[in-house]
Amino acid sequence: MTSGYGGGSGVGVKGVFIGAGCNRIVNNVSWGACDFVAFGAQNAVAIFNPKTAQISTTLPGHKAAVNCTQWLPSNKFSFKAKHLDRHYLLSGDAAGAIILWEYSVLEGKWRNVQQVPQLHKKGVTCITGIMVSQTEAVFASTSSDSTVHLWEVVFPSTSGGDCNLLHLDSLCVGVKPMVALSLSELPGSAGYLVLAMGGLDNKIHLYCGERRGKFVRGCELKGHTDWIRSLDFSLPVCTTGEANNVLLVSSSQDRGIRIWKMDLRDSLDSNQSAYRKEKISLASYIEGPVLVAGTNSYQVSLESLLIGHEDWVYSVEWQPPSTASPEGIAYCQPQSILSASMDKTMMIWKPEKTSGIWMNVVTVGELSHCALGFYGGHWSPNGDSILAHGYGGSFHLWKNVGTDFENWQPQKVPSGHFAAITDIAWGRYGQYLLSVSHDQTTRIFAPWQNEASLGDEESWHEISRPQVHGHDINCVAIIQGKGNHRFVSGADEKVARVFEAPLSFLKTLGHAISQKSSFTEDIQVGVQILGANMSALGLSQKPIYVHAEQQTPDRNLNDNLDTFEAIPDAVPVVFTEPPIEDQLAWHTLWPESHKLYGHGNELFALCSDHDGTLVASSCKAQSAAVAEIWLWQVGSWKAVGRLQSHSLTVTQMEFSHDDKFLLAVSRDRQFSVFSIDKTGTDETSYQLVSKQEAHKRIIWACSWNPYGYEFATGSRDKTVKIWTVGKDSSVKQLTTLPQFNSSVTALSWVGLDCKSNDGLLAVGMENGLIELWSLSVKRSEDGVAADAVAAALVVRLDPLMCHVSSVNRLAWRNRRNEDSSSSIQLASCGVDQCVRVFEVNVN
């Protein structure tokens, strides 16, 4: 992961973990010859290593959602790329921009080489490219604006050099856009390329041209009865010692896959007509049009029609060739095709040895009812693994672990949210990180200690998905104090929901943190709930009790087949290794224990006090009556307070370190400080002690000093102000940090030294960047003087480490009193679908 240092203060920051889901769009994923996978995560290009199942970095640069990626060289040319020092990546976005990136293998660093001159007027939907030499590539892009552009790129001979881009041609394809492209060199015609394109007119169009010349329309291939969704050329196939034909595979929304053969016409002349008659069989082709390229012509024919999928087939891909010589020049093109469909399966197709008929030889897929199909499937460069990305922003990886026969087994992959992440919270002692999102899920990420033996660093994974909801989730608060793990979440509904950890999660967490016994608690005793089941409409999650585990009622299989209730029961499992997507999506739910009714609009913010006795909530509001803050008593879950102060939505709340004050900031540009007095077991008294208009624009964020009554507020006016609550409960401003370059959207203050009252303030901004400021507050008996705060920028995190869109929340990892390490961890989340964890070394 990337490291960033700054400020000259000796504070270093290292990226520890990135969790992100894949944009839900076809052509979004590409597996390169370098054995890295690239995908779009909102406006970022994310890179992950399939061997470690970790996202290594995200690349900032796009101003719109990333639609497609393409490696140069791709996995198809991995046999030529074993000794390359640099690999290149193309990414296209929804605004029509294409960026070329360079990855240095030796340095492990990324560089934004250049943005391709923007010719597309609408979003780029597909990019395809081939290597024509070790330093030259040709690529084509298509867009919803019904144009296809072809480019030649010459890569530099030294690292850091400029790439030379040459625009070869622009093709207008009519009113129906093309959505699938594939490029290939033509066998027997040196310097000639063929471009296949397919789209909304149900036809495949073939264009051919010289490498630096214009491309001319060759012919059309008809047969599909719905949109063409994917095309892929094989490398030229050697049949009689020299390459004389090339195969094209196409897939469509008509659920069919077609294999087309382009044979050099010379091999089809009259002298060989007798030979041809001998070869006629079930797999013989149907003659189609002729493609002319220069002095050569190619007979195009339908080689095979593959029927097996039950829904749209979104992608087809030839298995990458394997090296047939030590020099890596000769290759062998396997007769093997991978297809991925919305029917939740991927299939591998191969011709049967005796008859030559193409058969489905392997089928893998997600059989859970919650999966909604695959948008694409990809081979690993060496052909032993296959990767799918699905409707839920998820990855699914299978590896062939068999020796004598094929045995495809699921493998670990990165996971994360596929929409904006709105809030995060650490577990009580920092064992895990909880996040909520507009993708309507709540997820738990944790370091899995059992894997630490593979290296010095912790390996982070998603270990549970406690809530799968029917509304976008806006906020979350983990309830502090003793007892079982609990959290409250608020979504685009008027009710807050309380969840309690089931026994299966507690035992899984025990496996994850087994090396850190100081974190484990004896809280499994008395927990009678094993897991939870999803309700019919996806709102409430019903408990599965331990004693009911063996009492499976006999069900009539015909019951409820035509009702919403016809969904399978979850099977809560204790995981001894990080779970995969199919397990996470259905078997790791937490039961809902309470609903908190009271707000008049959708929930917007939540917080819990440090004792675990109170929860505060706010909702979206346009009036003072609706903008009340509700206080809920943990345990009885009664409403014990309705705090009135603001006239618009309260955007964030936080209790002071001793829970004596509650701070709230609002869209009305004001902050409020309430005194909270928990006098009795069932009584809570509160009083508004201060209210000020603090900023010129919306206040998005606030955070208390963990060692005192100072707090920070951050606003859309690009400022952060530091305030203090005096002994008479009056609030005065101490200082204003220098103006930032972007709106301040998130703040989190951590204490470093209680005696000297030193701390770090993390500042997150709308542009995705994060800064760390040191704050030192000097107190006297009279309180804090206005000039008693020393503030200095210590680290401005490298943009490669930061978010590419607005930071929604920052949170420092909770540390136990006995933890005296010099490093602390900071978590962040943002609109770019990413959860990030940083390690901050404060030596």
What DSSP line would sit under 731-779, residue for residue? EEEEEEPPPPSS-EEEEEEEEEETTTTEEEEEEEETTS-EEEEEEEEEE
Amino acid at the residue 623? S
How many whole angstroms separate alpha carbon 444 and alpha carbon 89? 31
How many whole angstroms separate alpha carbon 412 and alpha carbon 462? 10
Calculate the average pLDDT of the chain: 86
Q: Predicted confidence band at 212 (pLDDT cuts at 50, 70, 90)?
A: confident
pLDDT given for residue 777 in this prediction: 86
Q: Check if the beta carbon of residue 314 is closer than 8 Å to that of residue 376.
A: yes
How many whole angstroms separate alpha carbon 350 and alpha carbon 400? 16
Q: Predicted confidence band at 53 (pLDDT cuts at 50, 70, 90)?
A: very high
The SS3 assignment for 503 reads helix
Mean pLDDT of 2-10: 48
Q: Predicted confidence band at 161 (pLDDT cuts at 50, 70, 90)?
A: confident
Phi then psi for 581, rounded to 5 degrees? -55, -45
End-to-end CA distance of the chain: 20
How many whole angstroms separate alpha carbon 211 and alpha carbon 361? 37
Tell me: pLDDT of 416 over 90. yes
How many whole angstroms separate alpha carbon 517 and alpha carbon 775? 33
pLDDT given for residue 554 in this prediction: 43
Neighbouring-strand partners of residue 462: 445
pLDDT given for residue 7 in this prediction: 41
Tell me: pLDDT of 356 over 90. no
Tell me: pLDDT of 409 over 90. yes
pLDDT given for residue 548 in this prediction: 59
Tell me: pLDDT of 249 over 90. yes
Q: Predicted confidence band at 815 (pLDDT cuts at 50, 70, 90)?
A: confident
Task: Single out the residue of 54, 60, 53 nearest to residue 803, CA to CA.
Answer: 60
Tell me: pLDDT of 347 over 60. yes
Mean pLDDT of 544-563: 50
Torsional sign, CA 550, 555, 557, 559: negative
Tokens encoding 510: 């025990």
Tokens encoding 761: 């303030």
How many whole angstroms separate alpha carbon 113 and alpha carbon 86? 12
Tell me: pLDDT of 724 over 60. yes
CA angle 797, 756, 819 (to 5 degrees): 70
Q: Check if the beta carbon of residue 337 is closer than 8 Å to that of residue 257.
A: yes
pLDDT given for residue 281 in this prediction: 44
Q: Check if the beta carbon of residue 434 is closer than 8 Å to that of residue 422.
A: no
pLDDT given for residue 266 in this prediction: 57
pLDDT given for residue 135 in this prediction: 87
How many whole angstroms separate alpha carbon 765 and alpha carbon 804? 10
Least confident among 208-212, 248-252, 833-837: 208-212
Local structure of residue 20 (DSSP, 8 states): E
Q: Check if the beta carbon of residue 432 is closer than 8 Å to that of residue 444.
A: yes
pLDDT in tens, 820-836: 567 899 999 999 999 99
Tell me: pLDDT of 754 over 80. no
Mean pLDDT of 256-284: 60
Tell me: pLDDT of 514 over 70. no
Neighbouring-strand partners of residue 497: 489, 595
Greater model confidence, 597 or 679? 597
Asked if residue 73 has a cis previous peptide bond (ω within 30° of 0), the answer is yes
Phi then psi for 517, rounded to 5 degrees? -65, -20
Tell me: pLDDT of 513 over 90. no
pLDDT in tens, 102-141: 999 988 999 999 999 999 999 999 999 999 888 899 999 9
How many whole angstroms separate alpha carbon 249 and alpha carbon 247? 7
Task: Single out the residue of 506, 500, 599 nearest to residue 541, CA to CA.
Answer: 500
How many whole angstroms separate alpha carbon 298 and alpha carbon 293? 8
Q: What percent of the chain has pLDDT over 70?
A: 86
pLDDT given for residue 402 in this prediction: 82
Greater model confidence, 189 or 566? 189
The 10 Å Cβ neighbour count of residue 135 is 13
Least confident among 461-470, 556-565, 672-681: 556-565
pLDDT given for residue 368 in this prediction: 56
Mean pLDDT of 680-708: 89
Tell me: pLDDT of 302 over 80. yes
pLDDT in tens, 624-639: 999 999 999 998 899 9
Tokens encoding 241: 């010692």
- The total number of residues written for the chain in this structure: 843
Q: Which residues contact 552 (CB under 8 A, 6 or more apart)?
A: none
Phi then psi for 565, rounded to 5 degrees? -80, -5
Least confident among 4-13, 160-169, 643-652, 827-836: 4-13
Local structure of residue 162 (DSSP, 8 states): P
Q: Check if the beta carbon of residue 489 is closer than 8 Å to that of residue 578.
A: no
The 10 Å Cβ neighbour count of residue 268 is 20
How many whole angstroms separate alpha carbon 18 and alpha carbon 416? 9
Greater model confidence, 842 or 703? 703
When computed from its CA atoms, the radius of gyration of the chain, rounded to whole angstroms, is: 30
Least confident among 13-27, 182-196, 377-391, 449-463: 449-463
Q: How far is CA 347 from the centre of its chain?
A: 25
Q: Predicted confidence band at 817 (pLDDT cuts at 50, 70, 90)?
A: low
Q: What percent of the chain has pLDDT over 90?
A: 62
How many whole angstroms separate alpha carbon 438 and alpha carbon 421? 6
The 10 Å Cβ neighbour count of residue 475 is 24
pLDDT given for residue 8 in this prediction: 43
Tell me: pLDDT of 354 over 80. yes
pLDDT in tens, 65-81: 999 999 999 989 888 88
Least confident among 12-21, 121-130, 563-572, 587-596: 563-572
pLDDT given for residue 32 in this prediction: 93
Q: Locate tokens 């922003």: which residue?
A: 393
**Residue 27 burial class via C-beta count within 10 angstroms: exposed 0-12, middle 13-18, buried 19 and up:** buried
Task: Single out the residue of 42, 47, 26 nearest to residue 125, CA to CA.
Answer: 26
Strands (DSSP E) contained in 428-537 are 433-437, 441-448, 459-468, 473-478, 486-491, 495-500, 529-534
Q: Check if the beta carbon of residue 91 is closer than 8 Å to that of residue 101.
A: yes
Kind plus residue range of the DSSP H or E element containing 116: strand 109-116
CA atoms within 13 A on the CB side of 578: 26
Mean pLDDT of 709-731: 92
How many whole angstroms separate alpha carbon 246 and alpha carbon 261? 6
Mean pLDDT of 177-200: 91
Q: Check if the beta carbon of residue 750 is closer than 8 Å to that of residue 759.
A: yes
The SS3 assignment for 419 reads coil
